[in-house]
Amino acid sequence: MPVDFSGTWNLVSNDNFEGYMVALGIDFATRKIAKMLKPQKVIKQDGDMLSIHTTSTFRDYMLQFKIGEEFEEDNKGLDNRKCKSLVTWDNDKLVCVQIGEKKNRGWTHWLEGDDLHLELRCENQVCKQVFKRA
């Protein structure tokens, strides 16, 4: 029985988001705004189908995919680079590999107690985010 990430989650900590954004080539002005945000994630998990809606007062990003099936990701409103993404289970962790121009790009979600954790990776940068249920 896999973990269920479904729910509405509010960001409570965001370690090295700046380094991650620099690695993605996000410009200074956008980074200044982005690092002030407290994004919310709305996750819907239905069998192998997942949607992750990251919303903020500045921009929103919607991702829908089937676990184990590669898909094209456009990262629209983020760095706008297209990549081939694949999300799979690693035990109770949900691991996404984003193949494209940027090396070592991807993310991992897991639950720890009542919290949702997210590690965002790009090149040599790792951003660590923690969310609590809204």
| Sites of contact with ligand VLP (CB under 6 A) | 21, 24, 26, 30, 34, 37, 39, 41, 52, 54, 56, 58-61, 63, 78, 107, 118, 120
- Closest approach of Cβ 80 to ligand VLP, in Å? 9
For CA atoms 74, 59, 129, 116, give the dihedral sign: negative
61 or 110, CB closer to ligand VLP? 61
- Closest approach of Cβ 79 to ligand VLP, in Å? 6
58 or 89, CB closer to ligand VLP? 58
- Closest approach of Cβ 99 to ligand VLP, in Å? 15
- Closest approach of Cβ 113 to ligand VLP, in Å? 19
Cα–Cα distance list, 102 to 75, 90, 121 (Å): 13, 22, 10
81 or 91, CB closer to ligand VLP? 81
28 or 47, CB closer to ligand VLP? 28
